[in-house]
Structure 1
Amino acid sequence: MVSTVKFTNTGRSQFFSTVRKRVDTYFTENNVSPNANGAMWTKAIFFLTGYGLLYGLILSNQFGGWAMLGMAMLLGTFAAFIGFNVAHDAVHGAFSRHGWVNRLLGYSFYLLGASPYVWRIMHNVVHHTYTNIPGHDEDIDVAPGLIRLDPADEVRPWQKYQHLYAFPLYGLTSLAWVFRKDFLKMFKDKIGQYDTTHETHEYVTLFVTKAVYYLLFLALPLLVLDVAWWQVLIGFVAMHIVEGLVLGLVFQLAHVVEGTSFPLPTPNGNIEEAWAIHQLRTTANFAPRSAIAAFFCGGLNRQIEHHLFPKICHIHYPAITAIVKQTAHEHNLPYLESPTFSSALVSHYRFLKQMGQTPSTRLT
């Protein structure tokens, strides 16, 4: 496997320069900042306040077991929505023009039990550069050996059922983050084929913040709630199953549906098209006209716009979608989208089923 991938723009496409110029013109002519506006700040306050309120109500010890379980599951959804709507934009540097504001809001990833530092490397650097490239984009390594997403991977007998068992596995996404994934990535020499080195204080920060999270969400409930330890554990796991399912589904519907590609570089490490065109071929939108999807998914239902312009706050994606779509069509390039969340879900289901049965495309 090649260790370095280069995008060569063999066709000399002018797509990205054109669409970038048009998007810049939109912001200039309308005197609009590409960062957060009042509506965006309102969303952030809503989700952060809701999260804090739910956590406080649970610890108030004023409710029965079933009510607290329901609030724990709702807390999991708010955690996922904070990830989509606050932390994600902030870590991309899109929330504010002030770096300190982005750093502060990026810390909200800790509310999910995840490390913003590890996320920045895995997502901003690796995933956004090498989207859907096997061996480089680790976001497509979902439960390796159990779920097959890469057409070049060997097909295993049990994977013909992956369209059935994949969805419950998505529910383990955030539990994996909390207890395993961040630690694993910090102690690997590479993420994908990207060489990683970390300063000592990043290791200290990781262990300290994880310990605080375990204290707040496991130890403290055990101390203050009039419930058994196993009830606390059930609530914790239920919270993360809901959080993981929401996170997993939204991210999968953006890159793992019918029509998205998983290109392999040439033997000398080239992807023989422009990076922006690669993003169009590997990324898909869903429910682009749904105000509900836009509100809760943090613009990730317009993943194409996000991948092309990650430093633009997602609150502006509805305004630039028509620009991107028209420019793609003018250059005879794909623009993949499912009209609704349910149609994208069905497309993902069919993709999983096909990948569980289609022979490997790997050359032998």
Structure 2
Amino acid sequence: MTAEAVTEGARAARPRERQVSQFTALTQTVHEAGLMVRRQGWYWTQFAVLNLALIGLVTAFVLIGASWWQLVIAAALAVVLGQFMFIGHDAAHRQIFASGRWNDWASLVVANLYAGMSYGWWQHKHSRHHAKPNQVGQDPDIGTGALVFHTEELTKPATGIVAWFRAHQGWLFFPMLLLEGINLHAAGIKTIFGRGEVKRRPVEIAFVTLRLGAYLALVFWVLPLGMAFAFLGVQLGLFGLYMGAVFAPNHKGMPIVPKSSKIDFLQRQVLMSRNVTGGRFVEWFTGGLNYQVEHHLFPSMARPHLRRVQPIVKEFCATHNIKYTETTLLESYGIVVRYLNKVGLAARDPFQCPLAMEFRSAR
């Protein structure tokens, strides 16, 4: 979808009062269907099952001892920790408990104590993303760093190795995710030990220090030095790849919103999000984030209800002529790679970039 399509979609829904009325009607339908009720029993069951899996992996790790079979344990641990992070994500969105305090503490425990990441750092970043997904200067997930997701803020063409890297960044994206696990830990540590405001700094420091210290101590106690580093490399690499492979299809390759554009909540959340099809396995693999459109419209909806609300939202979008995007997981990866390569090629000369001209014309 192009930037013009986003702008046209926003115009088609005017006046604003009608947009608000439409979303209010959709929200009322969802409430009447009982899809905003809590599912604490479901979450407690998931949490218990994951704890049993974690205990089993730790027990197997100790019993197996110095063996290269430990790399299988490392891979399984990456998946289990990823599943824990999905529960932490849901708690951060107030999906589990009616009490905001309970949800905050649940996220703190899961993110900091189980995964070794900073809940405060992640929540701040993720809240900004949800408020204005794919908007230049607002969504931190599309900020220019190692990768270029848009060309609007580029002021000079890249040269040399940087230009080559950008031209191939789509192909390099997934290999780079193998470093994302380290990056997630490092960003959290930098935040909680930094000078910025952290709501529960002592708790976050205590949880992260305990988690990382105990984990490293156990790994280096059970395994020889080289095998220990291999174990950590596999676990952290696959954890980062897993998280990136789940979150990338949701918005990468969807329209980029120019910094000055104003779009109503309904259009913003639907047009910038992509659902991923594939049934129950994909739903489990992605922690329910394959229903990205529904999650962005109703972020506090319990994960088990996203599957049930999808037909309602899809019919609503069809009725009101709002573009609703969904594709398979593998197809979404192809879209991400092609999009990043396209932007990377354009970033070599942003002043003659068709994408940049497209963004500017949409203002």
What range describes the TM-score normalised by the shorter chain of this pair?
Answer: 0.7 to 0.9
Question: Alpha-carbon deviation of 1:307?
Answer: 0.8
Q: CA RMSD in A?
A: 2.6
- State the match for 1:213 in structure 2: 211
Letter in 2 for 1:329: A
- State the match for 1:176 in structure 2: 183
Aligned match of 2:326 in 337, 345, 348? Answer: 337
Letter in 1 for 2:272: T
Aligned match of 1:311 in 300, 309, 312? Answer: 300
SS at match of 1:355: helix
Confirm whether residue 46 of structure 1 aligns to residue 49 of structure 2. Answer: yes
Question: Alpha-carbon deviation of 1:186?
Answer: 6.9
- State the match for 1:294 in structure 2: 283
Conserved 8 A contact 1:76-1:240: yes
Conserved 8 A contact 2:192-2:205: no
Flag the 1:326–1:19 CA change in 2: closer, same or farther, 3 A: farther
Aligned match of 1:69 in 68, 71, 79? Answer: 71
Conserved 8 A contact 2:66-2:224: no
Conserved 8 A contact 1:163-1:352: yes
Which consecutive residues of structure 1, in runs of 5 or more, have no partner in the other structure? Answer: 1-6, 190-196
Question: Alpha-carbon deviation of 1:355?
Answer: 1.2
Confirm whether residue 283 of structure 1 aligns to residue 290 of structure 2. Answer: no
SS at match of 1:283: coil
Question: Alpha-carbon deviation of 1:165?
Answer: 1.4
Question: Alpha-carbon deviation of 1:37?
Answer: 5.5
Question: Alpha-carbon deviation of 1:185?
Answer: 7.7
**Higher alpha-carbon deviation: 31-40 or 248-257:** 31-40
Report the Cα distance in structure 2 between the residues aligned to 1:211 and 1:342, rounded to whole angstroms: 37
Conserved 8 A contact 1:286-1:301: yes
Conserved 8 A contact 1:118-1:186: no
Conserved 8 A contact 1:15-1:327: no
Question: Alpha-carbon deviation of 1:25?
Answer: 3.0
Which consecutive residues of structure 2, in runs of 5 or more, have no partner in the other structure? Answer: 1-9, 351-355
Flag the 1:352–1:67 CA change in 2: closer, same or farther, 3 A: same
Write 1 or 2 for the structure with the bigger share of helix. 2
Q: Deviations 1:160-204 (Å, cap 9, x if unpaired)?
A: 111221111112122112123451487476xxxxxxx335xx332
Report the Cα distance in structure 2 between the residues aligned to 1:207 and 1:235, rounded to whole angstroms: 25
Using the size of structure 1 for normalisation, the TM-score is 0.82
Conserved 8 A contact 2:193-2:205: no
Aligned match of 2:313 in 324, 338, 343? Answer: 324
Flag the 1:40–1:293 CA change in 2: closer, same or farther, 3 A: farther
- State the match for 2:119 in structure 1: 116
Letter in 2 for 1:347: I
Conserved 8 A contact 1:36-1:95: yes
Report the Cα distance in structure 2 between the residues aligned to 1:186 and 1:328, rounded to whole angstroms: 45
SS at match of 1:176: helix
Report the Cα distance in structure 1 between the residues aligned to 2:125 and 2:57, rounded to whole angstroms: 30
Question: Alpha-carbon deviation of 1:49?
Answer: 2.3
Report the Cα distance in structure 2 between the residues aligned to 1:67 and 1:102, rounded to whole angstroms: 37
Report the Cα distance in structure 2 between the residues aligned to 1:170 and 1:24, rounded to whole angstroms: 40
Runs of 4+ in 1 over 4 A off after TM superposition: 7-10, 30-33, 37-40
Letter in 1 for 2:37: P
Letter in 2 for 1:321: Q
What is the aligned length? 332
SS at match of 1:356: helix
Conserved 8 A contact 2:266-2:297: yes
Confirm whether residue 163 of structure 1 aligns to residue 170 of structure 2. Answer: yes
Letter in 2 for 1:34: V
Confirm whether residue 21 of structure 1 aligns to residue 21 of structure 2. Answer: no
Report the Cα distance in structure 1 between the residues aligned to 2:266 and 2:47, rounded to whole angstroms: 29
**Higher alpha-carbon deviation: 204-213 or 295-304:** 204-213
Question: Alpha-carbon deviation of 1:103?
Answer: 3.3
- State the match for 2:259 in structure 1: 265
Question: Alpha-carbon deviation of 1:17?
Answer: 4.1
Question: Alpha-carbon deviation of 1:249?
Answer: 1.5
- State the match for 2:229 in structure 1: 233
Q: 1:96-175 alignment to 2 at 5 Å? A: 96-106=97-107, 107-110=109-112, 111-124=114-127, 126-141=128-143, 144=145, 146-154=146-154, 156=158, 157-158=163-164, 159-175=166-182
Question: Alpha-carbon deviation of 1:313?
Answer: 0.8
Letter in 2 for 1:75: L
Report the Cα distance in structure 2 between the residues aligned to 1:307 and 1:24, rounded to whole angstroms: 17
